[in-house]
Structure 1
Amino acid sequence: MIALLPQVEICDNGICDLRNHPLHRTMVSIHLPGELRELMKRHGKRNIDLANLLNIDPTAVSKILTGKRVLKAQEAAAIHDWLGTAVTIDAPIATPIPIIGQVSGGNWREAIQQPIGHLPSPDPSIPKGAFALRVVGDSMDRYVEDGGTVVVDPSDRALFPGRFYVVLNDEGETTFKQFATDPARLVPCSNNKAHVEITIGDGTAFSIVGRVIWRASRM
């Protein structure tokens, strides 16, 4: 047992057998997110309660409780006071993301596969199999400048309005655009007005390479 400071002051040399002293609490170290979830359930605490305690977004709480986000020192201390429990949650190791080539940030352009190196993973939750591409062109410069880097999830190909995708046509050319509906089309997000929308269903066959889930650009 480790004595709290007020207990130290009333005990000889900080060693005290007054286990029933009001300041005593059982110290349980938690290292796994599942254990924290179980302890919260035992105390009748909800995710929103933890979000309010730490003053963070509920989505950040979900990442904590699934091991995708590391607790900061002050957050662990706050949970200790909240639950009487020492908490340490280790996040999974983030795997570097391979930069495998280039993608056009403009008109359709031949896909170029040329390993460039690796990008440090910006988030451990990025799925395995994700890869990065360098953007060539300025048709998406409101989000990613010419020469910037995007991370693509090839397992996420379902089209949803407002999301961003790398698209491949039947001639082996790619482009990076935002998807929109009514009508279905690929939309440039550029300060350069020369770029135009690409209508889907105009006779050009295409496939979705994957959804763009992260961006990384030099400032």
Structure 2
Amino acid sequence: MLKHADIWAAIDALARDHGLTASALARRAGLDPTTFNKSKRITREGKPRWPSTESVAKVLDATGASLSDLLDHIEGEHRANGANHLPLIGFAQAGDRGYFDDAGYPVGGSWDEIPFPEVGDPNAYALEVSGDSMEPLFRDGDRVIVSPSASVRRGDRVVVRTLEGEVMVKQLVRQTAKRIELASLNPAHPGRSLATEEVAWVARILWASQ
């Protein structure tokens, strides 16, 4: 089944064919430079968004590529060279209901998908970073691969969700039966100390794309 991620990845591939970034491709096509930004590929409600037919037509016209060229890229991304596909969600939507079960495993049908090599956890998923609270380690638009079943140790970078729905990316400093101590990745932001009963789940970050 064709996925939103296949279309967006094909546009990215078309940009690379012409030595362009996605922003430069949009600009050449006479579009707003942010048209193809990763933040524009998902709605505020966390739903994946298709590129408009008008923007695709303008890109093809600006690059001289044919619809067949784009379809070839889409097919190539869909196959993804045998890669596994991981669920993907925008970080801003991670606190919403319906995306995770009580143990922090991805559920529901609202996730987008991205091709990614096998990571050894069938329940692994990707979060797309938004904002600057995790800089300089993770920047806006980076994707972190999260394993809800991996064991968590002191010093690990983790995703934490509270029972109230707050989601944060921190470094685990200390975990006891009563409290979880977390350090901020951005020195401009404070660390957190949470009572164990406040925390819904903690999941380890395995990898990040930058």
TM-score range, shorter chain: 0.3 to 0.5
Task: Kindly name which structure, 1 or 2, has the bigger radius of gyration based on alpha carbons.
Answer: 1
Structure 1 or 2: more helix by fraction: 2
Higher relative contact order (CA 8 A, sep 6+): 2
Question: TM-score with structure 2 length normalisation?
Answer: 0.47
Question: TM-score with structure 1 length normalisation?
Answer: 0.45
